[in-house]
């Protein structure tokens, strides 16, 4: 609804492809994969490594 509030009806139409595009880009990088999973509403447990082991 944010896109509709900002851009009106064209924003609602553009919201789905724009969100999918952003999610696909975020999935490509390890540091942003968590954000992509949150956008997808993943039902499986998300493993967040807190520290790197040397």
Question: For the whole model, what pTM was predicted?
Answer: 0.63
Ordered by start, the domain boundaries in the chain are 16-42
**How high is the pLDDT of residue 53?**
63
Q: What is the pLDDT of residues 7-40, one digit of tens each?
A: 888 888 888 888 899 999 998 998 888 888 888 8
Cα 41 to Cα 32: distance, rounded to the nearest angstrom: 15
Q: Indicate the pLDDT class of residue 46, thresholds 50, 70 and 90.
A: low
Cα 40 to Cα 26: distance, rounded to the nearest angstrom: 11
Helix (H, G, I), strand (E, B) or coil at 16: helix
Answer whether 40's CB lies under 8 Å from 27's CB.
Answer: no
């Amino acid at each position: 609804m944010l896109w509709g509030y900002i851009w009106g009806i064209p924003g609602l139409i553009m919201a789905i492809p724009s969100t999918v595009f952003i999610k696909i880009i975020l999935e490509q990088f390890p540091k942003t994969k968590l954000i992509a999973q949150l956008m997808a509403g993943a039902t499986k447990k998300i493993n967040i490594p807190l520290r790197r082991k040397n």
